[in-house]
Structure 1
Amino acid sequence: MKQMKQRLGIFLLVITAIIPLPIHTLAAENDFSSPASAAFAVDYDTGKVFYNQNADEPLGIASMTKLITAYIVFDEIEKGTISWEDKVPVSDKLKKMSKNPDLSNIPIKDKHDYTVKDALEASLISSANSLTSALAELISGSEIKFVDRMYKQLDDWNIKDGYLVTASGLGNEDMGKDIYPGSKKTDENLLSARSMAIVAREIITDFPEVLEIASSPSRAISDGTTIWNSNEMLPDFDYYTEGVDGLKTGTTPLAGACFVGTAKRGDQRIITVVMDVDPEYSRFQETANLMNYVYDNWSYKTVLKKGEPSSQSTISINKGKKDKASIVLTEDLSVWTKNDNQNIKLFFEPNKKQLTKKKKVNAPKKKGYIVGSEHVYNTTDTLGYLTKEEEIHDVSKVALKTDIERANFFIQIWQSITKR
């Protein structure tokens, strides 16, 4: 069992339900900041990081946890082990919890049979804790066993900084006596902002239907209850922001106000995370600020197009009719860069396995033979990518533009004499 390395403190979360929260004033474009313990923004398709403010420290994630649980629910449905219309048993303990006004829930009606569809929608839209725990019990027999399944899912995503104790994001203090083995009464779920962005991208990629649920301002479930979305960035809400169609809020005294959001404008989808936002500010306004900052200041620029010469326009030929041959890109080469920063550099890297020790191409070879790679990078951009594996996005293969023919025997002798 996983052990908590340090005792976690409990912080008072100040909630201002009536007085409007102040709007955080943005700093200059090159000095953006967020009044949060962590803030992170990343491109969905390429994994390019646009903003990183303490994104690698594990912090409380509260109900953002429910995205991990939802992923497992979608996975079980896809495998056929459960179905949307299966009934979800709700224990007396969870029914009692559902009526606790201090916890996010919908009151469970005693004689009503809730379906998997009901429970997942309530979990993702209104952040219902009791029905989330009921889903965990349906799938694994107990919430404790389900947490083990959640750990396995994190391992599958190569996420190593997670600490989990519940399926819903509630802390152990709200779970009674049945807490995760080895954990303390004060423990809650922890994850870094970077890892939370990975979770969001995984569920959107594998189960894009999550957006259809998460983007619903409200829905009626089978017991007749209308559930309202806790995401106030959707249409007709106070913090409506262009393109936002998800994803999940989270709030506990330890975690503070959190939100993992996603928006799509044009062809570009981004994922943002804000964690433990200063209570004087709105997590939704801060997310909007971060999203607007990304869309206003970052662009994906094509530096070289397919078929254009590499930065090293030719390569030497060994035993060929010609000394050199033209080399070109096999695909467009693009790079993310801030609009006010054009410090872009190119360099050609030969493929040693394809060349001689003197970095020449042995003739004969056909057009399209790969001789190396063209790399592009911004000399002042240190943000990198969501994962190390994704840094290949700034690379294009380079190949021979035309066929190269082998020189005849006499020409090869002459080349040897002249050391060409």
Structure 2
Amino acid sequence: MIGFIQKPAAAAENIDINANAVILIDAETGKILYEKNAETVLGIASMTKMMTEYLLLEAVKEGKVKWDQTFTISPELSKMSHDDDLSNVYLRVDSAYTVEDLYSAMAIESANAATVAIAEIVAGSEANFVKLMNEKAEELGLGDFKFVNSTGLNNRDLAKHFPDVVGGAEEENVMSARAVAKLAYQILKDFPEVLETSSIPEKTFAEGTKDRFVMDNWNWMLEGYRDIADRYSYYQQFTYEGLDGLKTGSTNFAGFCFTGTASRDGVRYITVVMGTKSQTERFVETKKLLDFAFNNFSKEELVPAEYVVKGTETVPVSKGKEDQVKVHSADAISSIVTPAEQENFDTVVKLDKDKLNEEGALTAPIKKGDKIGTVTIQFKDGEAVYLSSEGQKSMTVDLIAAENVEKANWFVLMMRGIGGFFGDLWGSVSSTVKGWF
């Protein structure tokens, strides 16, 4: 982990989130703005499906899977899809469904049999897919995780239809809130199109067949519910401006969970709430987090492009027509901050030692735009914590030369050498003479 926890805002002390684990991050950089028990490993239920989505979207991007390709349903999958104790859409034996339809069923209805179908499409079997899940989690650096199935179900519910489960008979997928946030952060970075589906409040599956089913998104905070029929009026108390994802989940083991994301005025936040006591409480607590974020933070340009750091306006130059070069930042540095943080930071310059001689000078020639070092923002109240080192890098930009410095010709260098020799000689004589008196 980079840095140490910085208290985001005084208001954070007044937040009372009724959940077993919570985290709030900036979706652009992964900066952690608030967390509680975020490293505790807990059940994640159907939030699991974000990893299944990631692997499917990756397979589509790599051309291994196509949205319009079809998949034929096995008797086992069909039986599972008719298990009314599980969230599902009905799938018929020997019927073919497109990958896109199965994906929509998974993302919107949290359909479990459709999810297993996607696992089989991508990896050939559920067991192979679970292996891919754990490998990808390791690759993404999620840290605290264990996947035993593609759905987030307890293995006993999966074993009713597929006895050869991965892991123990009563196991479920587990992650820390921080790991879940990082998965959400990564899927939004790599596949932002995931929001096109996660933001759909209602969609019809198997239109025109006897299995026609209206899928209601389990995410009741979506704004689109306001435009749907009166039967959704109950959901309107939870809708949240700018919220468009990502995934709910619930089991007896995990409690009620929700990974949310909302965007306003070009700023996006990600929230994770784990282990609430009811279906609605997860949305109430998410609203508290998002209100805290939008009311206390804003994205501000802390350092503009071509910023000149006081005390490092120039860098010495050796063998150049000029003996120094002007320097400034290459780019601006922006961050999600509180009003107090906007002025409460230092700019730290670090010169590239490999480019300096023994006297600490650059050697000409130097071209405008050459990288000379870095400029970093450091908050005085403590270095902010990010989900990864990539986020920390957002606080650093290159320090570059603001002008050209040509190499001096041999004659100038010679005369400087002679001048330096006689200057040193005169200095030595002067010191000796002064010593006589």
Q: Give me the TM-score of the superposition, normalised by structure 1.
A: 0.85
Query: 2:416 aligns to what?
Result: 411
Query: 1:28 aligns to what?
Result: 11
Query: 1:316 aligns to what?
Result: 316
Give deviations 1:357-390, integer Å, cap 9, x for gaps.
2321223423333221111121224441111233
2: distance between equivalents of 1:364 and 1:85?
58
Give deviations 1:196-243, integer Å, cap 9, x for gaps.
222223333333332111111100112421111000110123311111
Give deviations 1:284-343, integer Å, cap 9, x for gaps.
121122122112212232233222312322222334455443221111133432223342
Query: 1:327 aligns to what?
Result: 327
Query: 2:179 aligns to what?
Result: 195
| SS in structure 2 of the partner of residue 310 of structure 1 | coil
Which 10-residue stretch deviates more, 58-67 or 289-298?
289-298
CA-CA distance at 1:168 after TM superposition: 0.6
Query: 2:195 aligns to what?
Result: 211
Aligned residue among 206, 209, 224 for 2:212: 224
What amino acid is aligned across from residue 198 of structure 1 in structure 2?
A: K
| SS in structure 2 of the partner of residue 175 of structure 1 | helix
2: distance between equivalents of 1:126 and 1:418?
84
Is the CA contact (8 Å cut-off) linking 1:319 and 1:412 kept in structure 2? Answer: no
2: distance between equivalents of 1:320 and 1:77?
55
Number of matched pairs: 394
Is 1:129 the counterpart of 2:112 in the alignment? yes
Is the CA contact (8 Å cut-off) linking 1:165 and 1:171 kept in structure 2? Answer: no
2: distance between equivalents of 1:135 and 1:330?
45
2: distance between equivalents of 1:328 and 1:412?
30
TM-aligned CA distance change 1:331 to 1:79, over 3 Å: closer
2: distance between equivalents of 1:394 and 1:170?
40
Query: 1:233 aligns to what?
Result: 221
1: distance between equivalents of 2:354 and 2:268?
38
2: distance between equivalents of 1:417 and 1:196?
69
Q: Map of 1:281-360 to 2, 5 A cutoff?
A: 282-311=281-310, 312-341=312-341, 342-360=343-361
2: distance between equivalents of 1:292 and 1:252?
27
Query: 2:3 aligns to what?
Result: none
Is 1:138 the counterpart of 2:137 in the alignment? no
CA-CA distance at 1:281 after TM superposition: 6.4
Is 1:60 the counterpart of 2:43 in the alignment? yes
Query: 1:15 aligns to what?
Result: none
Is the CA contact (8 Å cut-off) linking 1:35 and 1:281 kept in structure 2? Answer: no
Is the CA contact (8 Å cut-off) linking 1:220 and 1:226 kept in structure 2? Answer: yes
2: distance between equivalents of 1:361 and 1:78?
46
Q: Could you list the runs of 5+ residues in structure 1 that have no partner in the other structure?
A: 1-25
User: Considering only aligned residues, what root-mean-square deviation do their CA atoms show, in Å?
Assistant: 2.6
1: distance between equivalents of 2:300 and 2:36?
25
Is the CA contact (8 Å cut-off) linking 1:27 and 1:33 kept in structure 2? Answer: no
1: distance between equivalents of 2:385 and 2:368?
34
CA-CA distance at 1:249 after TM superposition: 0.3
Query: 1:19 aligns to what?
Result: none
Q: Could you list the runs of 5+ residues in structure 2 that have no partner in the other structure?
A: 1-8, 227-234, 428-437
Q: Map of 1:382-393 to 2, 5 A cutoff?
A: 382-393=383-394
What amino acid is aligned across from residue 404 of structure 2 in structure 1?
A: D
TM-aligned CA distance change 1:130 to 1:343, over 3 Å: same
Query: 1:269 aligns to what?
Result: 268
TM-aligned CA distance change 1:416 to 1:240, over 3 Å: farther
Give deviations 1:153-210, integer Å, cap 9, x for gaps.
22332334221111110011212262434x2222100112222222223333333332
Query: 1:75 aligns to what?
Result: 58
CA-CA distance at 1:123 after TM superposition: 0.7
Query: 2:430 aligns to what?
Result: none
2: distance between equivalents of 1:377 and 1:200?
27
TM-aligned CA distance change 1:378 to 1:416, over 3 Å: farther
What amino acid is aligned across from residue 229 of structure 1 in structure 2?
A: N
CA-CA distance at 1:280 after TM superposition: 9.3
Is 1:164 the counterpart of 2:164 in the alignment? no
Query: 1:180 aligns to what?
Result: 165
Is the CA contact (8 Å cut-off) linking 1:337 and 1:378 kept in structure 2? Answer: no
Query: 2:34 aligns to what?
Result: 51
CA-CA distance at 1:410 after TM superposition: 1.4
What amino acid is aligned across from residue 356 of structure 1 in structure 2?
A: N
Is the CA contact (8 Å cut-off) linking 1:57 and 1:193 kept in structure 2? Answer: yes
Is the CA contact (8 Å cut-off) linking 2:26 and 2:336 kept in structure 1? Answer: no
2: distance between equivalents of 1:382 and 1:309?
22
Is the CA contact (8 Å cut-off) linking 2:344 and 2:379 kept in structure 1? Answer: yes
TM-aligned CA distance change 1:416 to 1:102, over 3 Å: farther
1: distance between equivalents of 2:143 and 2:11?
35
1: distance between equivalents of 2:93 and 2:165?
27
What amino acid is aligned across from residue 334 of structure 1 in structure 2?
A: S
